Amino acid sequence: MCAALPAPAAGEEPRPTLDASPEPTAPGASVSRRVALGLLGAAGAAALLTPGRRRTVPAGRVHLRYWEKWTGAEGEAVQRIVDRFNASQDRSWVERVPVAEIFSKAMVAIGGGDPPDVVGLFSWNVPYFAEARALMPFDDFPGGAELASGYYAPAIERLLQHEGRLWCGANTCYSLVLYANRARLAQVGLDAPPATIEELDAVSERLVERGADGRITRAGFLQNIPLWWPYVWPSLFGAELMEPGHGERPPRMSLASEGCRRAYQWVSDTAERHGRAASRSFGLSWERTMLSAADPFLSGGVAMTVQGPWMANFARQFTPNLDYVAAPVPVPAADLDPARPRGLLECDTIGIPRGCPHPEEAWEFVRFTQTRESQEELARAHCKPSPLATTSPDFLVGHPNPFVAVHEAVAKSPAVSVLPETRAWKATSDLMVQAFDAIWMGADVGTELERVQTRAQGLLEAARERYRARRERV
Amino acid sequence: MSRATEHRAGWIWASPFLVGAVVFLAVPVGLALYTGFTDYALIESPLWIGLDNYREMGDDPVFWQSIRNTAVYTAAAVALNFLVSLGLALLLEQRLRGREVVRAVVFAPVLVPIVASAIGWMWLYHQEFGLFNVVLRRLGLSGVDFLGDGRFALMSLVVMGAWVVGSQVLVLTAALRGVPRELIEAAGLDGASAIWRLRAVVLPAIGPALMFNLIVSIIWAAQVFAAPLVMTRGGPAGATQVFTMSIFQNAFQYGRMGYASALAWLQFLVILGLTAIALRLGRRFVQTEAV
C-alpha cells in the first residue's frame, strides 16, 4: 500500500514523487556506438602515447626492476649506486622503483608470480622469505659462497643467513647509540654522555624542566622518545629476546627473563619518577615530529635519545649548529665494559626474489652493490657504519657522521644484540609495543612480560611446526 | 526486439557488474573461507591445518582485546550516531533561517577522506595545542589526553565517528518529509505535546529509515579501521585495537593470511548475525507499511 504524498507547503521544496515515467529524451542527446568507440579509442591512445610514462631503457639491455623502500636523500644515494652500475656495463639496465610497505608488497608480488628482479627488504623479513624459499640463496650463484662466511660483520652475517644459507646481501646497517646534546649536558656540569644507567638516571632527573602547571616542558632522557624500538631496552641489560636453538633444543622466546624484567622495571621506574601520565603525554606530543626540524632531540625537547646513525644527517640538515655527541647506550654500572659496547643492530637487505625474470643479471647487480666500494659509499651517504667485516682505511676519515666510530664499535661488538630470527617476530614486536605502553602506565612488569612471553612462544612454536610440516611435504 | 534478445541484452549490460562481483567479491570470499583453514603467507602454498586458526583465537590476547574494543565501539557509536543523526534531522526540518547551509555543512564531512579527517581530529584532540584542550583550559579545567589516555581513547574515536553522520541525516530527512502533516496536526489538536507527537507519530512513521540507519551503522561501526589506524595505531596499550586492524596486521604485517582469513570470516558471521537480529527486531517493532 502506498499513501499519497501530501502537497508541499508554501516555501517548501517539491517532494519527490513515485511516478517513474521516463523523461523524454532531448533530440541529439544520444551518442552513437561509433562515436562512443571512437572516444574510447582516442582516450586509450592518448594514455599510451603520453610522454614520460616509461623510463627509457637503452636498446639491447636487459631491463631489471629493483624495488627499494628508501626515498628522499637516502633514495638518491641508492640511485647513485644504480647509476654507477648502469654505466659500468652494457648488458643490463637497473630501474629503481621506490616502494612503500615493501614487506607486504613483495609478498604479494612474489606470491602472485610477478616479482621484481631485485628487492630491498629489512633484516627481520629474512626468516619469512627464506623459510618460504621466496628468495634465491646467494650460494646458488657464482661467487656467492664468498659472501657467506667472513665477508660481513658477524652480527650482520647472522641477520642475513637462515639455516646456514645466505639469502640476502646487506644494504647498510644501523646500530642504536645514545645521542646527547652537549649544551644541555653542560647545564648539569657534564662534558660527556653518561656511560651507565645509574649516571643516566641521575643526569636525566636534573635536566627535567616543568611549566607552571607541572607539565614537562623539557626532559633529560625518556625511553618513550622515540617509541620506535620498545624492545631495545633488554639489550642494555645484556638480555636476549630469544634463546637461539642448539642441536635438539629448539629456540625459545625469553621475553620474561631476569634481564628483560630488569630492563622494563627500569622503564617503569623512569615513568614513575617523571609522572606516568605526564611523561606519556610529553612523549606523545613529539610523535609526529620525529626527524624533522621539530624533532625532540634536534629542537632541545630532550637532552638525550637513543637513535640510529641517520640522526647526524638530520642534524646537519635541520640544526647545523647543534652541539651534540654520541656514545654507546648506557649499561648497568656492574656490566660496564668499554671494549664490549652493547646495543641493538639492524640491517637493510637486498635479495633476489624467487621467480624473478632475470636472476643472473640481478645477481650481477646485487654483487655490484655488495662490493666494499658500493657499501661504503652508501653507508657514508646514509651516515651509517659499514656492514662489512672490514672497512677501507679511509672509511672513517671524512665520514659525514662525526660519531660513526661509535656506531661501528657497537655494530662490530661481540656484545651487540640482534632481533629474534623468527617469522613470529613482527607479531611479537607489536605485543611488546602494547606491553611497553602498559608498563609505562604502571602495569606490573612481570605480568605484562609473562603475557607477551606466552603468546610469543605460542607463535614461535606454531611457526616452527608448520615450517617443519611444509618441509616434510616437500 | 524478441524476448530472448532482450534477455541476452540485459545480461550483456549487467555483465560488467556481474563479472566484477564474481571475480572481485565471490571468488575472494570463497578463497578466504578456504585459506581460513590453512597456514598461508602468500609466498608459499597453503598448508591445511583444519580448525587450528579458529582454535588459536582462544589463546590470542589481541583477539579478545579487539573483540572487546570493537563491541564497545560499535555499541557506543551506533547509539551516538543514532541520536545525533535523529537530532540533526529533526532540527533541519524546522523552519529555520539558513537551514540549507546547515544541511550542506552536516553532509560535508561525508565527502572528506577518512585519513584527512582523522589527521584533522588528531589536532583537535592534541593534548597541548588541540582546540578541545585549549577550551577546557580556558574554562579552568585541566586538559585531557584524549588519544593517549586509555580511558578516553576509544570514546574519542566514537565522538569523531559522530561527525560523519551526514548520510544518515539525509536518509532521516527524506523520511521525515514523508510523515503526513495532517497526522501530526491531528495529534496536536488532541493535545499531544511535542515529545508525545515525536514518540507516537513521527518515530513510528520513520521507523524503516531508522532501521536502515541502524543496520548500516552497525555494519560500519563493526568494521571501523582507518581512524584508529591513523590516530592511535591501536594504542595506548591496545585500548583502541579493533578487529579489522587485527585482520590487517595478520594479513599484511605478520604474513599470516590464513589466520587473517579466519578472523575475517568470523567478523563476517558476527556482522551477519547482528544484522539478522536487528532485522528481526525491526520486523517486530517497526511499522513498515505506510500510514
Domains, chain B, with CATH or none: 1-26 (no CATH), 61-285 (1.10.3720.10)
Domain boundary among A393, A411, A429: A411
- What is the model's pLDDT at position B291? 43
Q: Which residue of A has its CA nearest to B237?
A: A434
Inter-chain CB proximity A438 and B44 less than 8 Å: no
Count of beta carbons in the 10 Å neighbourhood of residue A96: 21
Inter-chain CB proximity B145 and A437 less than 8 Å: no
Domain boundary among A379, A411, A443: A411
Residues A452 and A384 in one domain: no
Residues A280 and A232 in one domain: yes
Count of beta carbons in the 10 Å neighbourhood of residue A355: 15
Q: Which residue has the cell 532540527?
A: B91
**Average pLDDT of the residues in B235-241:** 90
Residues A278 and A250 in one domain: yes
Q: CB of A106 within 8 A of CB of A67?
A: yes
Count of pairs with CB atoms under 8 A, one residue in A, one in B: 111
Q: Does residue A281 lie in a domain region? A: yes
User: Which amino acid is located at B2 in the chain?
Assistant: S
Rounded to an integer, what distance in angstroms lies between the CA atom of residue A112 and that of residue A68? 19
Closest to A207 in 3D by CA, of A236, A176, A182 = A182
Q: Does residue A117 lie in a domain region? A: yes
To test the contact with chain B by mutation, choose from A17, A430, A439, A448 the residue with the greatest count of B C-beta atoms within 10 A, namely A430
CB of A108 within 8 Å of a chain B CB? The answer is yes
Q: For residue A152, what is the DSSP state?
A: B
By Cβ distance, the residue of A111, A441, A466 closest to B237 is: A441
Chain B residues with beta carbon closer than 8 angstroms to that of A108? 42
Distance between A271 CA and the closest CA of chain B, angstroms: 15
By Cβ distance, the residue of A3, A104, A469 closest to B47 is: A469
Which residues 6+ apart lie within 8 Å of B161 measured at CB?
B77, B80, B81, B221, B224, B227
Residues A310 and A439 in one domain: yes
Strands in A84-198 per DSSP E: 92-98, 118-122, 161-162, 165-166, 169-175, 177-181
Residues A381 and A393 in one domain: yes
- What is the model's pLDDT at position A192? 92
Phi, psi of A400 (to 5 degrees): -65, -20
CB of A34 within 8 Å of a chain B CB? The answer is no
Number of separate domains in chain A: 2
Helix (H) or strand (E) holding A64: strand A62-68
Residues A351 and A220 in one domain: no
Q: Which residue of A has its CA nearest to B42?
A: A111
- What is the model's pLDDT at position B68? 96
Residues A114 and A145 in one domain: yes
Q: Does residue A31 lie in a domain region? A: no
| CATH number for position A261 | 3.40.190.10
A317 to A70, A174, A175, A230, A312: CA distances (angstroms): 18, 19, 21, 27, 9
Strands A324-327 and A177-181, sheet pairing: antiparallel
Rounded to an integer, what distance in angstroms lies between the CA atom of residue A253 and that of residue B82? 47
pLDDT tens digit sequence for B106-161 = 899 999 999 999 999 999 998 878 999 999 988 988 888 898 888 999 999 999 99
By Cβ distance, the residue of A111, A213, A438 closest to B42 is: A111
CB of A9 within 8 Å of a chain B CB? The answer is yes
Residues A115 and A209 in one domain: no
Closest to A297 in 3D by CA, of A317, A315, A271 = A315
Q: Which residue of B has its CA nearest to A132?
A: B44
By Cβ distance, the residue of A129, A134, A437 closest to B235 is: A437
For B24-33, which contacts have Cβ atoms below 8 Å and span 24 or more sequence positions? B31/B261, B32/B261, B32/B264, B32/B265, B33/B261, B33/B265
Q: Does residue A109 lie in a domain region? A: yes
Inter-chain CB proximity A9 and B181 less than 8 Å: yes
Distance between B149 CA and the closest CA of chain A, angstroms: 8
Residues A434 and A316 in one domain: yes
Rounded to an integer, what distance in angstroms lies between the CA atom of residue A471 and that of residue A439? 40
By Cβ distance, the residue of B145, B235, B254 closest to A426 is: B254
DSSP secondary structure string for all residues of A190-227: -SS---BHHHHHHHHHHH-EE-TTS-EEEBS--TTSST
Distance between B201 CA and the closest CA of chain A, angstroms: 15
By Cβ distance, the residue of A15, A108, A462 closest to B42 is: A108
- What is the model's pLDDT at position A32? 67
Is the pLDDT reported for residue B191 higher than 80?
A: yes
Q: Does residue A300 lie in a domain region? A: yes
Distance between B148 CA and the closest CA of chain A, angstroms: 7
Rounded to an integer, what distance in angstroms lies between the CA atom of residue A55 and that of residue A77? 19
Inter-chain CB proximity B62 and A134 less than 8 Å: no
Three-state secondary structure call for residue A345: strand
Domain boundary among A387, A411, A435: A411
Residues A107 and A146 in one domain: yes
Distance between A3 CA and the closest CA of chain B, angstroms: 6
Strands B38-39 and A161-162, sheet pairing: unpaired
Chain B residues with beta carbon closer than 8 angstroms to that of A427? 249-250, 254, 256
Question: What pTM does this model have?
Answer: 0.84
What is the ipTM metric for this complex?
A: 0.82
DSSP secondary structure string for all residues of B29-60: HHHHHHHTTEE--SSS--EE-TTHHHHHHHH-
Chain B residues with beta carbon closer than 8 angstroms to that of A110? 42-43
Q: Does residue A43 lie in a domain region? A: no
By Cβ distance, the residue of A132, A281, A451 closest to B61 is: A451
- What is the model's pLDDT at position A50? 59
User: Which amino acid is located at A298 in the chain?
Assistant: L
Residues A468 and A430 in one domain: yes
Residues A189 and A249 in one domain: yes
By Cβ distance, the residue of B42, B177, B254 closest to A15 is: B177
Q: In what order do the strands lie in the sheet with A304-307?
A: A304-307, A177-181, A324-327
CB of A474 within 8 Å of a chain B CB? The answer is no
Inter-chain CB proximity B127 and A284 less than 8 Å: yes
Chain A residues with beta carbon closer than 8 angstroms to that of B95? 11
Inter-chain CB proximity A427 and B254 less than 8 Å: yes
Chain B residues with beta carbon closer than 8 angstroms to that of A104? 252-253, 255
Q: Does residue A55 lie in a domain region? A: no
Distance between B116 CA and the closest CA of chain A, angstroms: 15
Closest to A107 in 3D by CA, of A423, A419, A366, A360 = A423
B195 to A399, B191, B201: CA distances (angstroms): 77, 11, 10
Write out residues in chain A with pLDDT < 70, as ranges: 1-33, 35-36, 46-55
Strands A304-307 and A165-166, sheet pairing: unpaired
| Mean of pLDDT over chain B | 91
Chain B residues with beta carbon closer than 8 angstroms to that of A132? 41, 43-44
Which residues 6+ apart lie within 8 Å of A98 measured at CB?
A68, A69, A70, A71, A75
CA angle B69, B71, B76 (to 5 degrees): 95
Confidence class of residue B3 from pLDDT cuts 50, 70 and 90? confident
Q: Which domain holds residue A76?
A: 62-174+345-411
Residue B3 C-alpha cell reads as 524476448
Spell out a b/e string for A329-346, using b for 16 or more CB atoms within 10 Å of the CB, else e: bbbbeeebeeebbbbbbb
Q: Which residue of B has its CA nearest to A12?
A: B95
Chain B residues with beta carbon closer than 8 angstroms to that of A3? 180, 290-291
Q: Which residue has the cell 664499535?
A: A409
Q: Does residue A3 lie in a domain region? A: no
Q: CB of A200 within 8 A of CB of A305?
A: no
Q: For residue A363, what is the DSSP state?
A: H
Inter-chain CB proximity B252 and A104 less than 8 Å: yes
